[in-house]
């Protein structure tokens, strides 16, 4: 009865709809600059655990307001790359794309499929991205459900990677940025579900394996992890706020534009992956 009452109360505050089959929920009818309180954050937290990603359109938040919203979820991490002039806890991501300029061995923007800051000893549990300036077309972000990726591996491969750890490096952002070792498969602290936890941007090698074997294993895992069946592709509108569970979701910024694209990002500190 209590759970049904809570569900009914939540539904009167905003509406939700599925963003895709693989993951995601669209949440409409709230203004985070005005309506945010502990109950709303609790409701959104429940939806995030269920759907792994939330789309909240029409959020006219300043950088300081975005940081304040993030602190309702936990401590914010800073990022060694560009920071907003008003607060170091909001990353200012502004660039022009390199449409159709792909180079062998390189990803546009220097990144491919990844979970944020996996080089950190306690990587973010939540990332939120707020669209400020968008190109006329293109610039989508794709997201992949890593619970589904792990659960659909064949049994032999799941057994092979059980207990393995991988080395993640943040040196792409500078020589003083830390490196970390994390499990290839992590267990979600709140739901207990397992997820693949390697990526093409920061994962360098699997510990205890020869280099060629490590590369083959990572290639196989990463090719599987980004299968279209696991992916939600978000087409941005200005003032969209998309937040996702960085413990179970990878993302990819699609570089199919050449005009300016400006995003604000916050990351909420997580624990040590287990």
Domain boundaries, the chain: 14-269
Cα separation, 225 vs 230, in Å, equals 8
Question: How much is the average pLDDT of 2-26?
Answer: 76
Q: 3-state DSSP call for residue 115?
A: coil
Helix, strand or coil, per DSSP, at residue 47: helix
User: Tokens at residue 69, please?
Assistant: 């919203």
State both tokens at 17: 């709809």
CB 201 within 8 A of CB 109: no
User: How far is residue 90's CA from residue 151's CA, in Å, rounded to a whole number?
Assistant: 34
**Cα torsion angle, 19, 253, 134, 259, sign:** negative
What was the pLDDT predicted at 109?
38
| Residues forming a β-bridge with 269 | 124
CA distance 98 to 128: 24
Question: pLDDT digits over 204-258, tens only?
Answer: 999 999 999 999 999 999 999 999 999 999 999 999 999 999 999 999 999 888 8
Structure tokens given for 165 = 């750890």
Greater pLDDT, 109 or 272: 272
CATH topology of domain 14-269: Double-stranded beta-helix (3.60.130)
Q: How confident is the model at residue 182 (pLDDT cuts 50, 70, 90)?
A: very high
Q: Which tens digit of pLDDT belongs to each residue from 19-35?
A: 999 999 999 999 999 98
Q: Specify the pTM.
A: 0.91
In the chain, count H helices and then E strands.
6, 16
pLDDT band at 63 (very low <50, low <70, confident <90, very high): very high
% residues pLDDT > 90 (the chain): 78
Q: Which has the higher per-residue pLDDT, 53 or 104? A: 53
The CB density around residue 151, as the number of other CB atoms within 10 Å, is 14
């Amino acid at each position: 009865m209590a759970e049904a009452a809570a569900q009914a109360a939540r539904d009167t505050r905003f509406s939700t709809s599925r963003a895709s089959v693989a993951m995601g929920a669209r949440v409409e009818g709230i203004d985070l600059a005005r309506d945010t309180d502990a109950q709303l954050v609790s409701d959104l937290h429940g939806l995030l655990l269920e759907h792994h990603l939330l789309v909240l359109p029409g959020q006219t938040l300043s950088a300081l307001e975005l940081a304040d919203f993030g602190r309702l979820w936990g401590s914010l991490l800073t990022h060694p790359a560009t920071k907003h002039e008003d607060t170091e806890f909001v990353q200012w991501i502004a660039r022009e794309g390199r449409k159709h300029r792909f180079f062998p061995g390189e990803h546009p923007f220097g990144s491919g499929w990844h979970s944020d800051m996996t080089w950190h000893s306690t990587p973010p549990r939540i990332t939120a991205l707020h669209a400020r300036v968008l190109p006329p077309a293109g610039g989508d972000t794709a997201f992949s459900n890593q619970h589904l990726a792990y659960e659909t591996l064949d049994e032999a491969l799941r057994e092979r990677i059980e207990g393995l750890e991988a080395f993640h490096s943040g040196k792409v952002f500078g020589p003083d940025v830390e490196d970390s070792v994390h499990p290839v498969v992590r267990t979600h602290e709140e739901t207990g579900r397992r997820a693949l936890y390697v990526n093409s941007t920061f994962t360098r090698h699997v510990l205890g394996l020869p280099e060629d074997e490590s590369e083959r294993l990572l290639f196989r895992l990463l090719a599987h992890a980004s299968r279209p069946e696991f992916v939600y592709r978000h087409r941005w509108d200005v003032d969209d706020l998309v937040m996702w569970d960085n413990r179970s979701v990878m993302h990819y910024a699609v570089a199919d534009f050449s005009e300016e694209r400006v995003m604000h990002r916050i990351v909420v500190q997580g624990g040590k992956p287990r």
